[in-house]
């Protein structure tokens, strides 16, 4: 079975997270997504410290679909340099990991 990943994506709004998440699931790039609004972010951008409110999107996928998922998220994203990072799942409930693998194609 291919490696399984949680893909952490920050977005400018809940609406943007829903738009990206819908596309990822509909296109079977992600088995499912979780959307968590209300995150406050502080970061350096173009030489200045910035603060903004963002929404977190976490997508579950496997290694075979990871690059296509990343490409689609970046394509649909409003940021010039979006946070799209993949975190490998080392261990987990095997039936759930199999479900993720079987849900993406």
Predicted local distance difference test score (pLDDT) of residue 1: 74
* Domain containing residue 97: CATH number: 3.30.70.120
pLDDT, tens only, 77-97: 999 999 999 999 999 999 999
Measure the CA–CA gap between 11 and 80, rounded to whole angstroms.
11
pLDDT recorded at residue 2:
79
Q: What is the pLDDT of residue 105?
A: 81
Report the number of distinct structural domains present in the chain. 1
- Pick the closest to residue 77 from 7, 22, 4, 10 (CA basis): 10
Range of the domain at 41: 4-103
**Which stretches of the chain score pLDDT less than 50?**
none
The count of residues in the chain is 105
């Amino acid at each position: 079975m291919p490696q399984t990943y949680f893909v952490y994506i920050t977005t400018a709004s809940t609406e943007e997270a829903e738009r990206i998440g819908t596309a990822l699931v509909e296109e079977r790039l992600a088995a499912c997504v979780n959307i968590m609004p209300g995150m406050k972010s502080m970061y350096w951008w173009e030489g200045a410290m910035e603060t903004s409110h963002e929404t977190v999107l976490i997508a579950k996928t496997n290694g075979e679909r990871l690059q296509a998922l990343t490409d689609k998220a970046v394509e649909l994203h409003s940021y010039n340099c979006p946070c799209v990072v993949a975190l490998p799942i080392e261990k987990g409930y095997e039936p759930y990991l199999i479900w993720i693998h079987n849900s993406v194609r």
